[in-house]
């Protein structure tokens, strides 16, 4: 066998949110180097939260990520409101779930259509794909648009919405707006079903792996805006126990902060959620699982795509229920006095577990903050997956094939790199 040396350098990954690069080197069919790096510069959010008022936090943390601002807002509110003796009203809790459904809907639709599908259908990007598959792309844009509309209903705009506040919302939407949107959501359910079937019909690579799943679980419903951590290793943890099991470390040759669960890489995000919470899916989705022949839990990472499609159906269904029951409240929020101390909170961002911790002083100002976003949690898993997938596929494959597979693998996690609140990976400093 002749010796072969391939060096793949993707200096700027496309169709991911934020900026990152991939570098791998194969020598004699051995993977000798593999690095996913994120060169998103640090933005020090945790630091400048210090000294701000609790009320300001929602407007600040939204700006950590333009794609999932609602997730940041709700995790922060969960953490802060845990420092109050009172709870937000039932109205507020349901409407937060509806608000959050909007974000899942827009984020998943955006990911599937604009970021992931071009890989599977062989296009450079969604716009090129639209020339051949206009209706499919339009369907995706429509679902994404509906998600945005749902976020706007409660937040005024879909990026950095302005509606959320401590104790609830600043504003309650008018009942006729709610009904009008609910009708549009209903009309899209058919499309969403078609989307799931379509995703399930794609020739996704079949590449079973073993990995640990971590997701929030709620006793009464598919966890989105609240729940406790459950892992496929059998742990059940509340938010304040997170730090006892999840650690951030440095790999020696990198500057990134990597999370591990008791020393192991783990998966968070749609597939992890579905693997853990699928028994709670509404009946029509359980039927859908049978229809498309998806067995859960699944250990094929590429089923993440189908998981997103199923979650689109789920949140459409959830949002419709919640909006159908809408009543115009007397007040869209309750003033919740916060007590000094430490508050922990989390929620399921579209990409996975998002954990926050705040320490509040006597004046009601933030003394310290810590935020662990999903992408940093998945980082170790992504590299493990890359290693596994490429080796299994065969490192003797051509460079383009390897590169495409590598990018597919990365995109499959929908890494949202811009949320680099406090972590950073630079390209390996070349000597």
Partner 1 sequence: MTRPRVAVHKFSSCDGCQLAFLNLGETLLQLNEQVDILHFLEAGMNDASADVDIAFVEGSLSTPDELTRIRQVRANSRYLVSIGACATSGGLQALRNLDGNHDEWRDAIYARPEFIRTLKEVRPIAAEVRVDLELWGCPVSSTQILAAIRALLFGVAPVDDRDRVCLECKRQQAVCVMVTQGIPCMGPVTRTGCGALCPRFGRDCYGCYSPSETAQTATLARRFSGLGLLPDAIARRFWLINSQAPPFLQTGRVFHRSAASDPDD
Tell me how far apart the alpha carbons of residues 352 and 58 are, in angstroms, rounded to a whole number. Answer: 19
Q: How far is CA 122 from CA 118, 128, 306, in A?
A: 6, 10, 18
Give the separation between CA 414 and CA 351, rounded to whole angstroms: 7
Q: Is 299 annotated as a binding residue?
A: no
Whole-number minimum distance, CB 413 to partner 1, in Å? 15
Smallest separation, CB 392 to partner 1 (Å): 26
Q: Which is nearer to partner 1, 160 or 387 (CB)?
A: 160
386/405 Cα distance (integer angstroms): 9
* CA 92 vs CA 330, 331, 336: distances in Å: 11, 10, 12
**Cβ closest to partner 1, residue 118 vs residue 350:** 118
Binding site annotation covers 278?
no
Question: For residues 63 and 245, which CB has a smaller minimum distance to partner 1 in the complex?
Answer: 63
Q: Confirm or deny that 419 is annotated as ligand binding.
A: yes
Question: Cβ of residue 388: shortest distance to partner 1, in angstroms?
Answer: 25
422 marked as part of a ligand binding site:
yes
Q: Which two tokens stand for residue 358?
A: 């705040």
Residue 208: CB minimum distance to partner 1, A: 29
| Tokens (6 digits) for 77 | 């509110």
Closest distance to partner 1 from the beta carbon of 22 (Å)? 13
Q: Whole-angstrom Cα distance, residue 20 to residue 404?
A: 16
Minimum separation from the CB atom of position 178 to partner 1 (A): 15
Q: Smallest distance from the beta carbon of 417 to partner 1, in angstroms?
A: 8
Q: Which is nearer to partner 1, 153 or 314 (CB)?
A: 153
46 is in an annotated binding site: yes
Q: Is 131 annotated as a binding residue?
A: no
Binding-site ranges for partner 1 (CB under 8 A): 12-19, 39-48, 52-53, 56, 59-60, 63-67, 69, 106, 110, 114-115, 118, 124-127, 130, 134, 137-138, 141-142, 144-145, 148, 156-160, 162-163, 165, 170-171, 250, 255, 416, 418-419, 422, 424, 426, 429
Q: Which is nearer to partner 1, 17 or 272 (CB)?
A: 17
Select 274 or 366, whichever has its Cβ closest to partner 1: 366
213 known ligand binder? no
Nearest to partner 1 of 88, 276 (CB atom)? 88
The annotated binding site for Ni(2+) is made up of: 65, 68, 416
What residue numbers does the annotated binding site cover? Answer: 46, 65, 68, 371, 416, 419, 422
Binding residues for Fe cation: 68, 419
Known binding-site residue numbers for Mg(2+): 46, 371, 422
């Amino acid at each position: 066998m002749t010796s072969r040396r391939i060096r793949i350098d993707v200096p700027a990954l496309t169709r991911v949110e934020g900026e990152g690069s991939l570098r791998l080197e194969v020598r004699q069919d051995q993977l000798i180097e593999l690095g996913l790096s994120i060169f998103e510069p640090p933005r020090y959010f945790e630091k400048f939260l210090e000294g701000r008022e609790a009320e300001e936090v929602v407007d600040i943390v939204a700006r950590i990520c333009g794609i999932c601002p609602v997730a940041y807002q709700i995790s922060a509110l969960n953490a802060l409101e845990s420092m109050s003796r009172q709870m937000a009203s039932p109205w507020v809790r349901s409407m937060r779930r509806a608000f959050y459904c909007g974000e899942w809907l827009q984020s998943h639709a955006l990911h599937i259509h604009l970021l992931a599908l071009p890989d599977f259908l062989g296009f450079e990007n969604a716009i090129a794909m639209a020339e051949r598959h206009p209706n499919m792309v339009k369907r995706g844009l429509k679902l994404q648009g509906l998600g945005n509309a749902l976020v706007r209903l409660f937040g005024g705009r879909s990026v950095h919405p302005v509606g959320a506040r401590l104790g609830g919302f600043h504003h309650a939407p008018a009942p006729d707006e709610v009904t009008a949107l609910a009708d549009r959501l209903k009309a899209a359910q058919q499309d969403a079903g078609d989307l799931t079937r379509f995703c399930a019909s794609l020739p996704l690579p079949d590449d079973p792996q073993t990995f640990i799943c971590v997701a929030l679980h709620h006793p009464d419903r598919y966890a989105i805006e609240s729940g406790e951590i459950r892992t496929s290793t059998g742990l059940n943890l509340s938010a304040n126990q997170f730090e006892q099991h999840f650690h951030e470390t440095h790999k020696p040759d990198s500057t990134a902060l990597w999370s591990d669960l008791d020393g192991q890489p783990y998966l968070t995000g749609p597939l992890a959620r579905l693997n853990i919470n699928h028994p709670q899916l509404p009946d029509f989705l359980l039927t859908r699982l049978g229809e498309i022949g998806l067995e859960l839990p699944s250990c094929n990472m590429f089923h993440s795509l189908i998981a997103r499609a199923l979650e689109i159906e789920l949140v459409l269904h959830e949002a419709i229920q919640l909006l159908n029951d809408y009543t115009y409240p007397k007040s869209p929020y309750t003033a919740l006095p916060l007590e000094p101390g430490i508050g922990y909170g989390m929620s399921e961002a579209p990409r996975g577990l998002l954990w926050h911790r705040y320490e509040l002083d006597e004046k009601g100002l933030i003394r310290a903050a810590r935020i662990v976003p999903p992408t940093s949690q998945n980082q170790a898993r992504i590299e493990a997956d890359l290693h596994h997938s490429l080796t299994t596929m065969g490192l003797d494959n051509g460079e383009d094939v390897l590169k495409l597979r590598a990018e597919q693998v990365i995109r499959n996690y929908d890494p949202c790199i811009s949320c680099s609140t406090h972590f950073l990976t630079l390209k390996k400093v070349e000597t």
